Amino acid sequence: MDKSIAMLPNTAWINLTYNCNLRCSWCYGKGTWEKDGTMPFSHVKELLSYLKVIGCEQVVLIGGEPTLHPEIIKILSECREQRLKVSFVSNGLYFANNTFCKNVLTTGGNSLDVTLSMATFPAGNQTTETNENRIFKKFEQGFHNLRQHGKKPNITVVISSTSISHLSDVFFWLAENEIDNVSFSVGVPSITLDKVDGTHTVNPQEIGKIVLKLFRAGQVLGIKTSFRNVPLCVLPRIDAEELITYGAIHNSCGIPNEKNILFNVNRELITCNHLESNSSCQWEVLKEAINRNDFESFWNSRKMLASRNVFPKFPSNLCKNCDMWNDCNGGGCPITWTYYNSQDYVNGWNKA
Ligand SMILES: C[S@@+](CC[C@H](N)C(=O)[O-])C[C@H]1O[C@@H](n2cnc3c(N)ncnc32)[C@H](O)[C@@H]1O
Ligand code: SF4
Ligand code: SF4
């Protein structure tokens, strides 16, 4: 196979809107909450047709909250028309509306992949009715509606200073609902042009302990766990190896990965969803390159290569000779190291 062809993107991440019906304390997108932005349907439609030309096979619809896009059903229909496989990442609240839920599933078709992110948590033993409980009930209703219509959503939870006290209730809820797998993302800081906010993150040393506890709890309850953004040496090596063997480590930094192409709501190219305002190219420039039949050289141009190298390759010198580099996928999410000092946490291996 021609290597240069293999390096072209096959998955496009599209930020449909900055709007969100929630404001999760840990959200990396908090810098966009005050912005008013939604990609007009005509722009989405044109973008999808160009994605097809460059060989993309899959789109990930994200935001903000993608279900809030006023033309979301038309967008799903257009994706289907273009034969693009769709993954939908949502906080799930809108799926509590059964008509909406049915509409999404009918339009999206069988191949539609839905991920629901838990933005509030099960109440556990708590009996008082709080706003959080009400939101969780909507999430739960959305989940049940999807299941009732034959769609098994993936469940994902961010590990943050807000969620850690709820993680055991999350497990009971998963077990109660016969959910056999869950994906945890270690919360990373939110970055805007002038600020790095890591106040809701948990430090990497603590993360090591939490990841292990969750993994063991999953083993006991028969729930397969997976984890993203974990720098592996915050775990004892023997445990890290066990997690790798079980396929529980899904570190997946998209930044250096040429297979992903990402767009903010203005259709500007961005390097990562966490760096939403750091655009590397205007839509018109990209469009022109595609029209010239020159996408491949554009994608591999010096400028685009530089945009995929925004962070140092190695978070720490210790990573350079680490035999776990590939499994670790580059020390977890590089954004972690804009807030935490890698020297304090990356220790080759935790010998404890
Ligand atoms: C920003 S949300 C947008 C889509 C939708 N509103 C949702 O919550 O699923 C995309 C994904 O990022 C996750 N996420 C949010 N803040 C994060 C953070 N600081 N670190 C890691 N993942 C985060 C969410 O849980 C969700 O799965
Ligand atoms: S994580 Fe999703 S639901 Fe929560 S504030 Fe961010 S965009 Fe909204
Ligand atoms: S030294 Fe670096 S590459 Fe090795 S496990 Fe630690 S963070 Fe990952």
**Residue 6's pLDDT is what?**
42
Which residue's alpha carbon is nearest to atom 16 within ligand 1?
27
The CA 27 to ligand 1 mean position distance, Å, reads: 6
Q: Is any atom of ligand 2 closer than 6 Å to the C-beta of 24?
A: yes
Mean pLDDT of 184-192: 94
pTM: 0.94
pLDDT single digits (tens) 110-133? 999 999 999 999 987 777 888 999
Q: Is any atom of ligand 3 closer than 6 Å to the C-beta of 63?
A: no
- Whether the Cβ atoms of residue 153 and residue 164 lie closer than 8 Å to each other: no
Nearest atom in ligand 2 to the alpha carbon of residue 23 is 5
d(CA 153, CA 169): 19
Share of the chain above pLDDT 90, in %: 77
Which residue's alpha carbon is nearest to atom 1 within ligand 2?
27
Q: Closest by alpha carbon to 213, among 269, 159, 266?
A: 159
Q: Closest by alpha carbon to 263, among 72, 64, 80, 111?
A: 64
Q: Closest by alpha carbon to 165, among 224, 124, 203, 198?
A: 124
The CA 234 to ligand 3 mean position distance, Å, reads: 9
pLDDT single digits (tens) 195-219? 899 999 999 999 999 999 999 999 9
Q: Is any atom of ligand 2 closer than 6 Å to the C-beta of 92?
A: no
The CA 184 to ligand 3 mean position distance, Å, reads: 19
Q: Cβ-count burial of 120 within 10 angstroms (0-12 exposed, 13-18 middle, 19+ buried)?
A: buried
For residue 275, the 8-state DSSP code is G
Buried-exposed string 141-174: b where 16+ CB fall within 10 A, e elsewhere: bbbebbeeeebebebbbbbbbbbeebbebbbebb
Residue 32 has pLDDT above 90, yes or no: no
Q: What confidence tier does 350 reach under pLDDT thresholds 50, 70, 90?
A: low
- The alpha carbon torsion through 220, 226, 231, 234 (nearest 10 deg) reads -10
pLDDT single digits (tens) 289-337? 999 999 999 999 999 988 888 888 889 999 988 999 888 888 889 999 9
Nearest atom in ligand 1 to the alpha carbon of residue 190 is 19
pLDDT single digits (tens) 65-85? 999 999 999 999 999 999 999
Please report which ligand is nearest the Cα atom of 15. 1
Q: Closest by alpha carbon to 24, among 88, 70, 91, 87?
A: 91
**Residue 1's pLDDT is what?**
39
Among 21, 26, 35, say which to mutate for ligand 1: greatest number of ligand atoms within 8 Å of CB: 26
Residue 226 has pLDDT above 70, yes or no: yes
Q: Is any atom of ligand 1 closer than 6 Å to the C-beta of 63?
A: yes
The CA 304 to ligand 1 mean position distance, Å, reads: 25
Share of the chain above pLDDT 70, in %: 97
**Residue 205's pLDDT is what?**
94
d(CA 215, CA 225): 6
Residue 220 has pLDDT above 50, yes or no: yes
**Residue 3's pLDDT is what?**
43
Lowest mean pLDDT among 112-121, 145-154, 257-266: 257-266
Average pLDDT value over all residues in the chain: 92
Q: Is any atom of ligand 1 closer than 6 Å to the C-beta of 31?
A: no
Residue 152 has pLDDT above 50, yes or no: yes
Q: Closest by alpha carbon to 275, among 32, 26, 22?
A: 32
**Residue 312's pLDDT is what?**
81
Q: Closest by alpha carbon to 119, among 218, 19, 229, 23?
A: 23
Residue 271 has pLDDT above 70, yes or no: yes
Q: Closest by alpha carbon to 170, among 208, 207, 218?
A: 218
The CA 27 to ligand 2 mean position distance, Å, reads: 6
pLDDT single digits (tens) 44-68? 999 999 999 999 999 999 999 999 9
Q: DSSP letters of 62-105? A: EES-GGGSTTHHHHHHHHHHTT-EEEEEE-SGGGGSHHHHHHHH
The CA 127 to ligand 2 mean position distance, Å, reads: 26
d(CA 192, CA 93): 27
- The alpha carbon torsion through 345, 348, 349, 351 (nearest 10 deg) reads -90
The CA 217 to ligand 2 mean position distance, Å, reads: 26
**Residue 252's pLDDT is what?**
66
| Domains of the chain and any CATH numbers | 3-344 (3.20.20.70)
Q: Which amino acid, 263?
A: F
Residue 27 has pLDDT above 60, yes or no: yes
